[in-house]
Structure 1
């Protein structure tokens, strides 16, 4: 079987993109998806995303982690998929698409940056040591000292596999404050089981958690991730957060085809 693919990255979060509007990709083949995401024996990526037809939107997003399993929402992946849809002429500069957590709206600016509306956030667990919230995917948010030298993989895995989140686990974000509108973060992603250069739902979670815990009063937050810069904006309303937008670059890297055994 020969598979045509596109490679995109958003602040270093990289994805294998496949146009599956013909519904021919073997989407239940976990081993194949993991192989395609493998950086030594495949194409390489933090995840694989299928663009599919949808009856109520411009397209549907189906997202898989690099371990081959279908997963929850991926913010940077969603932004990259919008750029991919534009490249395929499925959209021009605006999109509505369906994902596992519902409908999302997005725009592509003249500067090429993609702004993606995320889900509203209502429930935020706050403790003296960390916050926990779902921004389309579950996220643990914790402020740490000396983030640049912090062992994200070891400490992230310990929390992800610890008693706190059970078998399902969580994505783990470690944060440091730069100023009232800027934070740096590093993320351990479940499904990748390692630190990634960026995480869109993680950046969204950090921005909202910092506001919810009164670390900042800003509603427009700049996030420094290992692969670049993202911006999260939101409105605080009674009972939670709405009009949540994740904005940043979504870059086409290359296109190719790969032959795999059936």
Structure 2
């Protein structure tokens, strides 16, 4: 079966988008998702995005990481899908309903309310999520935040000096996090400026992570390290994050379409 796709990215965090809103797509399982995401033998992406019809929103967005695991939220992908849709939209995701709207400097996304209770992250057992009494090789006392998916945020003097490629996998797979975790290492440079590196579960080091930027900004705000609106700078670029008095997170930043193409599912047969 031949299927059209759109290759997109938000600050270098890239996606293959399959649009099944007008015509049903074939079953996309973990095997096919990871095969399409492979940068040597597939199309190549950090996440595979499926658009489907929805009974509760304008449409539904499903998100598969590069390893084929399905996750609940992706901020950069939401901006990309908002660009593709071309109009304000309410989007159903596994992490809840979000809203995307085109604005002058990109796409603005209402990411909803962050969650902080230990069982909402989730963690394996109860603890303070504002300053978790745990650490890994010099990274300690993280903040835990769920913004549709789980994040652990570490504040350090210089995030550029942390070997996140080495320590990220250990934290991601620690038994403390039963659904694994996204690992954020951040430096607060000013009351409105944060630098950030992210190890994304199921992906690895990423040039940008929208939910990571949201989680990190909210974590810094909860600790009174910055104001309620801040610029988060990642290797791929910057996002503007505002945490309103209504407790909802607003993320604003660019998204781009790279190219369009067609693949044939017969080129990705099940392995024996």
TM-score above 0.5: yes
Do the aligned residues in 1 keep the contact of 2:13 with 2:209 (CA within 8 Å)?
yes
Displacement of 1:27 in angstroms is 3.3
Q: Which residue in the other structure is 1:244 paired with?
A: 249
1:35-74 alignment runs, 5 A limit: 35-74=35-74
Among 206, 212, 217, the residue aligned to 1:202 = 212
Q: Which residue in the other structure is 1:175 paired with?
A: 186
Displacement of 1:109 in angstroms is 1.1
Look up the SS of the partner of 2:27 in the other structure.
coil
1:8-23 alignment runs, 5 A limit: 8-22=8-22
1:1-262 alignment runs, 5 A limit: 1-22=1-22, 24-86=24-86, 92=87, 94-111=88-105, 113-123=106-116, 125-127=129-131, 129-166=141-178, 168-192=179-203, 194-216=204-226, 218-236=227-245, 242-261=247-266
Displacement of 1:259 in angstroms is 2.2
Q: Aligned residues, how many?
A: 248
Displacement of 1:159 in angstroms is 1.2
Look up the SS of the partner of 1:158 in the other structure.
helix
State the alpha-carbon separation in 1 of the partners of residues 74 and 89 from structure 2.
16
Do the aligned residues in 1 keep the contact of 2:158 with 2:186 (CA within 8 Å)?
no
TM-score of the superposition, structure 1-length normalised? 0.89
Calculate the aligned-residue CA RMSD, in Å.
Answer: 1.6
Pick which of 75-84 and 134-143 moved more: 75-84
Displacement of 1:23 in angstroms is 5.0
Do the aligned residues in 1 keep the contact of 2:114 with 2:248 (CA within 8 Å)?
no
Displacement of 1:256 in angstroms is 0.6
Displacement of 1:144 in angstroms is 2.1
Do the aligned residues in 1 keep the contact of 2:78 with 2:109 (CA within 8 Å)?
yes
Q: Which residue in the other structure is 1:89 paired with?
A: none
Displacement of 1:258 in angstroms is 1.6
Displacement of 1:108 in angstroms is 0.2
